[in-house]
Amino acid sequence: MKNRFLLMSVLVCAVLTGALSVNVQGQVKTGPDPSTLRDPDLEKDSLHNFEVARNYFKLKKAYVAALMRLEEIIAGNPNFAKIEEVYLMAGQSSLWLADGKGKQKADQYTTFEGGTKHTLTPEQLRELGKSYLSRLVTDYPNSPFTKQAQEELRALGVANPKDNKP
């Protein structure tokens, strides 16, 4: 009698444990988060552009060339693995061009709107830089680059980065 009771108790515990583990497994998502899916070829191309831009930015102080490469990444691959650093470098490049820093002149940076070529003023470059840094702060608040972007924005007198986000 004791052996049967002990055997029944063990079976009941085993069934309950199995049922609980099946219930927990049923709550698992069905695959990776779609926002993290990346095209390997596009990622490779973006990484190449990023490395070239970083070289222009850090070693050559060619902020126009760096900004153009970074904008190509932002436009073509907004889910790039290093997009947070891209926004920081793009923001800093724009701001430093506006201040006349670097080896390239700000008038070398041009945009095309409606088929016409435009050179940005220092104020427009400053606003462009603020928008990149604001996007970093608002879209990626836990990024390791967010604090640096916030310091840059504070130095520019931007209290709320959401106001400068395009």
- Convert the pLDDT of each residue in 15-28 to its tens digit: 656 555 555 555 55
Q: What is the DSSP letter of 111?
A: E
Confidence check: pLDDT of 31 > 70: no
Provide the pLDDT for residue 113: 83
Domains of the chain: which residue ranges? 39-163
Q: Rounded CA gap, 35 and 12, in Å?
A: 43
Mean pLDDT to the nearest integer, 6-11: 61
Q: Which residue has the higher pLDDT, 157 or 70?
A: 70
Q: What is the pLDDT of residue 5?
A: 58
Statement: residue 166 has pLDDT above 90: no
Dihedral angle computed from the Cα positions of residues 153, 156, 162 and 166, in that order, rounded to the nearest 10 degrees: -100
What is the reported pLDDT for 24? 52
| C-alpha torsion sign, points 151, 126, 89, 78 | positive
- CATH no., domain 39-163: 1.25.40.10
